Structure 1
Amino acid sequence: MTVKKFNLPDVGEGLTEAEIVSWKVKPGDSVAINDVICEIETAKSLVELPSPYAGTVSELLVAEGITVEVGTPIIGISDGAAEAAGGAPAPAAPAAVEPSAPETPMYGKLSQDTTDAGTSDSGPAGGPLVGSGPKADAVRRRPRRTAPSAAAPSAPAPAPVQAAPAPAAAPAPVRPTPSAAASAQPAPAAAAENGAQAAAGLGGTLGATVSGIVSRVLAKPPVRKIARDLGIDLADVTATGARGEVTREDLVSYQAQRDAELDQADSFWGASRKPQEQRVERIPVKGVRKATAKAMVDSAFTAPHVSIFVDVDASRTMEFVKRLKASRDFEGIKVSPLLILAKAVIWAAARNPSVNASWVEDADGKGGAEIQVKHFMNLGIAAATPRGLMVPNIKDAQDLSLKELALALNELATTARAGKTQPAQMQGGTLTITNIGALGIDTGTPIINPGEVAIVAFGTIKQKPWVLDGEVIPRWITTLGGSFDHRVVDGDLSARFMADVAAILEEPALLLD
């Protein structure tokens, strides 16, 4: 069997590492070329990785949540030719390291584990024994004992009792042997009672051994550690694992119930009876959020920001949007005032070109800086996602019609919300819009996206009293906020640019000029 290792590729320009967010396959799965095998998070976005090979997944080399460098092997894919000749199913192999592995389906299925258990040192299996495979906590305590007495109770014993090896024959009601008892899988609550009866009946050393094993709650080492850290007694937790073991999900459920009882209600605040150090949520800063934080710090302390604001009567923009929604040309296309603002920014930038530029240090290699004015508009739209702030941009937005721009905005928003924005979509932006009005915010002082010199914040549009021709009437009012790199955009230029944007929102018909 040939196993091909797939190394983590560079999915962007110069990316050096990525986090494995989730696996879409597990050992034993068949994959074809270009099938999605996992999702990774880079410093720029969430990316799906396709398989470069066809075959059977033999092993996953990196666990979910781990960050690895580009070029690191992350998965092994076999050609599948030797799978049938190998005898044991491929997914069963990782089960040998089950105690130290995360509780995920990638480490084999229950049916495969129990098949392997049939070939253990307890003798050949007459059939699949549910829950009769070796346990992580019982492997080190397998005393070789024979059934000492026929007077032992015939009631089924709990799963841990099968740790005392005996012939794995099919259970029979007249044979009160440990193997017969082990063939059944009672509920955890009944297990303790049956185990105590078995211990009392067997007596002596074997009885003490069985009693000690029964009192040992089944759980994997990582689960035991979590329980110790949380101060949870595993015996108090209802087990739902396939073999009667306590799982991580059981601990989470138990902890949530315990906190609810302490607080008398579910809330953000932790239970006051718990030490404060146990009520601190720690969120690692990595991926998109880490890259965004660094970029914002660099921008805030490199580019001298200046911000200005303008109130705008957007009533005619609201009327225009309403007409577009009713138009057959825009049928099925989501239209919002953001579309008109995007057009206004493009129009105003053409009249004030220096806002669509970059400040470049040491451009000539001799320490001299230069201003690079872009004769194209890659319009960035800031999008808040569960993984942090992303700013994908619409390439050559100046060439798009109103309908084409509406379609581009819809696609950009849908892709960002789904976390599928690609690194290339966030590179090369020239000017950015942040739509904080969607959250009901009037305005703000946004930080300039690195590599640009201007950003416009679009506040919420709501009816306010407005003086028009000497009369106070209700109008649809919004507030625009703009931040500019004062090295490139001085006060006069920033004011003229914002006034031009406001003019389009007040009278969209100017776009026809």
Structure 2
Amino acid sequence: MPDVGEGLEEADIVVWHVKVGDEVSDGQVMVEVETAKALVELPCPFDGVVTELLAAEGDTVAVGAPIIAVAPSGTQVPAAAAEPADTREEALAADLVPEPETPEPAAPEPVPAAEPEKKDTRTAVLVGYGVRTTSGRRRARKTDTAAPAPVVRAANGSAHPGPPTSGSPAAGSIALAKPPVRKLARDLGVDLASVLPSGPGGTVTREDVHAAARPAPAAAPAAFAATGPGESVTGERRIPVKGVRKATAQAMVASAFSAPHVTEWVTVDVTRTVKLVRKLRELPDFADIKVSPLLLVARALLVAIARHPEINASWDEPNQEIVVRDRINLGIAAATPRGLIVPNIKDAGGKSLTALAGALTELVATARDGRTSPADMAGGTVTITNVGVFGVDGGTPILNPGEAAILAVGAIREQPWVHKGRVKPRQVTTLSLSFDHRMVDGELGSRVLADVAQMLERPKLLFVRG
């Protein structure tokens, strides 16, 4: 597992694009991994044939650990090794199920299980960490032992042994489960032999393990005692916090409890800004670019920062210093199926309005496709979060770690507004600016927010600097 950037220590295997026995070439994408920041495609660095997948989909692998073994082209891969990882796991489990015994004149004396044989091998690995010396083990053949009968737990909390069925473990067998499920069972302290399987072919699923790990609920009415396979008796669903979600949770906790947040609000008439957006959409320069009010909000914030550069800063804790950045890397919070990410536009303050619009369009499209790279999310200096797209009027945004300010933009709604001495229907929105009070005092934060509001109310000012 290579370090895909920003000093990340681990990544999750999302999907393999190759299997054992496949020929691979230099540069071919063979696996997608999810880091704490992005979904990344890993290419093969050389030509050869895949001899082993050393990590299953769903596994979390440390940087530097081998995930795939590739031999020189032409290497013959044994048929057993060429099976997918899940198939080999199930086949192994099937081999350990003893066949029905037939009467024999005399039972043979039990032979003590031999010590597993060890054989040193050298396996080629993907990343440049050298070859890996492994120790191959032959599984000792198990003697016939009576496995515990499966336990069926009803919704009322009562547990009773269930008869062996096609979906429950038979006596003397081991449970069928994929490697990630076995790891989950070990982590939760669940004995797979006692879990009632609900997967295809009698396999144990993640849901089965979670159900077995939950404490028995209080007594329930008899009408709810019958629960179907794989159904939760508590009506809850658990989502593993990994990758982007895990990183976001840790970053938000660190930000909320390390930086003293202050949030200021302003409600502004953006009727002229909405009209300007319509006019820009008709210009040839913006023909293939998405133009929205967010573009002019971004432009207004960039102009305000140019006037008050001290807000484009970060806090250096070891040296107790404020670091003011010369370039503005504008982050845009984006909600994706994998969680919240904040890619940024590098040197956004130096871009023209057309270039800024193109960069915003590309940033949003890349984020929605799940192809944002770690480099795209590194080095942000200030962030905009557009909660208005969800119909929300405003909020108190939490700072992106390492930044001094974040601007939240609410929904634009038609509201009664006093305009030129008369109450008229106008397009109105709410802006809220959160800032780190160690670096940004109330005066600086208020001036920046007031500048942004003034430019959105009178968008001609967007094109006047100083």
Match of 2:289 in 1: 333
Matches within 5 A, 1:448-467: 448-467=399-418
Matches within 5 A, 1:336-375: 336-363=292-319, 369-375=320-326
Distance 2:84 2:449 in 1: 65
Taking structure 1 as reference, are residues 231 and 442 closer, same or farther at Cα in structure 2, changes over 3 Å only?
Answer: farther
Matches within 5 A, 1:122-137: 136=94
Match of 1:65 in 2: 58
Distance 1:218 1:415 in 2: 45
- Bigger Rg over Cα: 1
Structure 1 residue 95: deviation in Å?
A: 8.2
Structure 1 residue 386: deviation in Å?
A: 2.1
Q: Please, what is the CA RMSD of the aligned residues?
A: 3.4
Distance 1:217 1:355 in 2: 62
Match of 1:141 in 2: 99
Match of 2:333 in 1: 382
- The answer to whether structure 1 residue 222 and structure 2 residue 176 are counterparts is yes
Q: Secondary structure at the match of 2:257?
A: helix
Match of 1:160 in 2: none
Kept in 2: contact 1:381–1:391 (CA 8 A): yes
TM-score of the pair, normalised by structure 1 = 0.66
Match of 1:286 in 2: 242
Aligned partner letter, 1:449: N
Distance 2:196 2:374 in 1: 47
Kept in 2: contact 1:100–1:222 (CA 8 A): no
Distance 1:445 1:93 in 2: 49
- The answer to whether structure 1 residue 31 and structure 2 residue 32 are counterparts is no
Distance 1:306 1:43 in 2: 28
Structure 1 residue 144: deviation in Å?
A: 7.1
Structure 1 residue 284: deviation in Å?
A: 2.4
Aligned partner letter, 1:38: V
Structure 1 residue 293: deviation in Å?
A: 1.6
Structure 1 residue 465: deviation in Å?
A: 1.0
Cα distance per residue 1:323-346 (max 9 Å; x no partner): 111111111211110000110000
Aligned partner letter, 1:362: P
- The answer to whether structure 1 residue 78 and structure 2 residue 36 are counterparts is no
Aligned partner letter, 2:363: L
Cα distance per residue 1:169-203 (max 9 Å; x no partner): xxxxxxxxxxxxxxxxxxxxxxxxxxxxxxxxxxx
Structure 1 residue 229: deviation in Å?
A: 8.4
- The answer to whether structure 1 residue 476 and structure 2 residue 430 are counterparts is no
TM-score of the pair, normalised by structure 2 = 0.72
Structure 1 residue 462: deviation in Å?
A: 1.3
Taking structure 1 as reference, are residues 87 and 491 closer, same or farther at Cα in structure 2, changes over 3 Å only?
Answer: closer
Match of 1:202 in 2: none
Structure 1 residue 23: deviation in Å?
A: 1.2
- The answer to whether structure 1 residue 54 and structure 2 residue 37 are counterparts is no
Taking structure 1 as reference, are residues 327 and 64 closer, same or farther at Cα in structure 2, changes over 3 Å only?
Answer: same
Matches within 5 A, 1:8-407: 8-83=1-76, 88=79, 91-92=82-83, 97-99=88-90, 136=94, 139-141=97-99, 221-222=175-176, 245-246=201-202, 278-363=234-319, 369-407=320-358
Kept in 2: contact 1:40–1:47 (CA 8 A): yes
Distance 1:19 1:94 in 2: 17
Report which of the two has the higher share of helix: 1
Taking structure 1 as reference, are residues 304 and 90 closer, same or farther at Cα in structure 2, changes over 3 Å only?
Answer: closer
Q: Secondary structure at the match of 2:90?
A: helix
Specify which structure has the bigger relative contact order, considering alpha-carbon pairs within 8 angstroms and separated by 6 or more residues: 2
Aligned partner letter, 1:140: P
Structure 1 residue 285: deviation in Å?
A: 2.1
Cα distance per residue 1:230-283 (max 9 Å; x no partner): 99977xx8x9x6xxx45679x99xx9xxxxxxxxxxxxxxx7976986433222
Distance 1:393 1:49 in 2: 23
Taking structure 1 as reference, are residues 12 and 462 closer, same or farther at Cα in structure 2, changes over 3 Å only?
Answer: same
Determine what percentage of the aligned residue pairs are the same residue.
51
Structure 1 residue 435: deviation in Å?
A: 0.7
Taking structure 1 as reference, are residues 310 and 231 closer, same or farther at Cα in structure 2, changes over 3 Å only?
Answer: farther
Distance 2:88 2:78 in 1: 19
Taking structure 1 as reference, are residues 373 and 94 closer, same or farther at Cα in structure 2, changes over 3 Å only?
Answer: closer
Aligned partner letter, 1:48: E
Q: Secondary structure at the match of 1:52?
A: coil
